[in-house]
């Protein structure tokens, strides 16, 4: 079997190669798609917004057309990219999101898509709580004032700087990250309100957590933190109408996807003090343009899309991916196959059957 590792500036090909050795004694070709950090951030954002077909087929695909599987992170897997291989059987991405993979095209071609759930969940949930505190308690602004030779004590929310104790925290999305945020906030003695149309009330097994409708969450929450995947249905989940329903003392936190929030509506709400503030780690254009109206506001904390970037999360991701792929190769049931229906494809059945015969 031939394995192509397809790294980038965040996780390089050598790291994927080390993890791929868990799969057995196979031919492994180590490559890197985009080694420049700045360019990677721009290209990954464009792919997430427009799909993998926006990119040309990477030359390493054509140079390794006999590869049986490709393991990577952000690189594009378009239909044309898949067709550049003679008999590709598996695509593995060491991340939860699969926006860089045309999953339907893979399924049609009998290609298994494996991803990694929760690789940076601890990192993102930590960061989300941190942004709540940083924005509401003016941590970043106070730091900047000292750096600028000032000793600032008065801020835009000076009349209602909150403590977390007793507050309502609204979580949009209650998957792994949302649940971690709720768990980490439990020590602050808060009430958690959750909006997630895919969660049933009986699955809420944490004290102080209440499943509510969207309107209740917007109207009653002191902090709203977004932890949903971006879909066509929830694009601009927060826009003018939703911001108008929030408390004037409420804060919006987004470490998920920029498309969940209508940025123009948020800028207007912040400028007019319709809400107290916002903490944002994701933007429609990254890096954020130097003349962006968010930069002129004093009630927003901005970070450089780093919520999920910790050494722990990056180091373990290729190994988590390799563990899932190994389950498939060993005839077991993998937990994170993005297109499980493909396992019934004749091509996949034939491949897995051949692996079973070899192992016997």
Percent of the chain with pLDDT over 90: 85
For residues 293 and 165, membership in a common domain is answered with yes
For residues 329 and 343, membership in a common domain is answered with yes
CA atoms of 51 and 46, how far apart (whole Å): 8
For residues 298 and 340, membership in a common domain is answered with no
- Residue 198 vs residues 166, 195, 211, 239, 312: alpha-carbon distances, Å: 27, 9, 11, 21, 30
**pLDDT above 90: residue 173:** yes
Catalytic-residue membership of 227: no
For residues 180 and 284, membership in a common domain is answered with yes
| Domain end (from 263, 280, 302) | 302
For residues 195 and 112, membership in a common domain is answered with no
For residues 284 and 320, membership in a common domain is answered with no
Catalytic-residue membership of 305: yes
| Domain end (from 276, 302, 328) | 302
- Name the pLDDT band for 120 (thresholds 50, 70, 90): confident
For residues 113 and 164, membership in a common domain is answered with no
**pLDDT above 90: residue 117:** no
- Name the pLDDT band for 315 (thresholds 50, 70, 90): confident
- Name the pLDDT band for 360 (thresholds 50, 70, 90): low
Q: Mean per-residue pLDDT for 4-21?
A: 94
Average pLDDT over all residues of the chain: 94
DSSP string, 149-187: T------TTTT-PPPSTT-EEEEE--SHHHHHHHHHHGG
Q: Mean per-residue pLDDT for 168-189?
A: 96
**pLDDT above 80: residue 157:** yes
Catalytic residue among 43, 95, 115, 257: 257
**6 lies in which domain range?**
2-119+310-359
30-46 pLDDT per residue, tens:
999 999 998 998 999 89
For residues 109 and 153, membership in a common domain is answered with no
203-223 pLDDT per residue, tens:
898 999 999 999 999 999 999
Domain total of the chain: 2
The DSSP output letter for 101 is B
Catalytic-residue membership of 235: no
**pLDDT above 90: residue 335:** no
Catalytic residue among 109, 115, 227, 305: 305
- Name the pLDDT band for 196 (thresholds 50, 70, 90): very high
pLDDT of residue 356: 74
For residues 81 and 156, membership in a common domain is answered with no
Percent of the chain with pLDDT over 70: 99
More confident residue, 360 or 312: 312
For residues 223 and 321, membership in a common domain is answered with no
Hey, how many other C-beta atoms are within 10 angstroms of the C-beta on 47?
21
For residues 266 and 294, membership in a common domain is answered with yes
For residues 39 and 153, membership in a common domain is answered with no
Q: Mean per-residue pLDDT for 279-283?
A: 97
Hey, how many other C-beta atoms are within 10 angstroms of the C-beta on 296?
11
Catalytic residue among 137, 286, 292, 323: 286
**pLDDT above 70: residue 26:** yes
Q: What is the CATH number of the domain that holds 130?
A: 3.40.50.720
**pLDDT above 90: residue 126:** yes
Q: Mean per-residue pLDDT for 230-240?
A: 95
């Amino acid at each position: 079997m031939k394995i192509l590792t397809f790294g980038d500036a965040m996780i390089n090909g050598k790291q994927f190669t080390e993890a791929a050795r868990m799969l057995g004694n196979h031919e492994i070709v180590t490559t890197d798609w985009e080694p420049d950090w700045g360019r990677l951030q721009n290209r990954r954002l464009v792919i997430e917004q427009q799909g993998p077909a926006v990119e040309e087929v990477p030359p390493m695909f054509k140079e390794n057309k006999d590869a049986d599987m490709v393991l990577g992170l952000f690189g594009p897997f378009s239909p044309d990219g898949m067709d550049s291989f003679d008999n590709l059987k598996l695509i593995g991405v060491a991340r939860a999101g699969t926006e860089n993979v045309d999953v339907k095209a893979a399924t049609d071609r009998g290609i298994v898509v494996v991803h990694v759930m929760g690789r940076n969940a601890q990192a993102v949930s930590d960061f989300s709580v941190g942004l709540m505190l940083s924005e509401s308690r003016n941590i970043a602004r106070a730091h900047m004032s000292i750096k600028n030779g000032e000793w600032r004590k008065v801020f835009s929310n000076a009349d209602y700087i909150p403590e977390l104790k007793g507050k309502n925290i609204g979580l949009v999305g209650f998957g792994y990250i949302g649940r971690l945020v709720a768990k980490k906030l439990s020590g602050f003695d808060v009430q958690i309100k959750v909006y997630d149309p895919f969660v049933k009330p009986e699955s809420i097994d944490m004290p102080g957590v209440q499943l509510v409708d969207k309107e209740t969450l917007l109207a009653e929450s002191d902090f709203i933190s977004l932890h949903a995947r971006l879909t066509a249905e929830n694009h601009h989940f927060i826009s003018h109408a939703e911001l108008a329903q929030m408390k004037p003392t409420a804060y919006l936190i987004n470490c998920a996807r920029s498309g969940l929030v209508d940025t123009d509506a948020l800028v207007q709400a912040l400028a007019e003090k319709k809400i107290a503030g916002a903490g944002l780690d994701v933007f429609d254009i990254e890096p954020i343009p130097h003349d962006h109206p968010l930069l002129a506001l004093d009630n927003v904390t901005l970070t450089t899309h780093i919520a999920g970037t910790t050494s722990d999360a990056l180091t373990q991701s290729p190994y988590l991916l390799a563990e899932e792929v190994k389950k498939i190769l060993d005839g077991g049931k993998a937990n994170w196959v993005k297109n499980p229906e493909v396992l019934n494809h004749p091509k996949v059945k034939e491949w897995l059957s051949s692996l079973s015969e070899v192992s016997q």
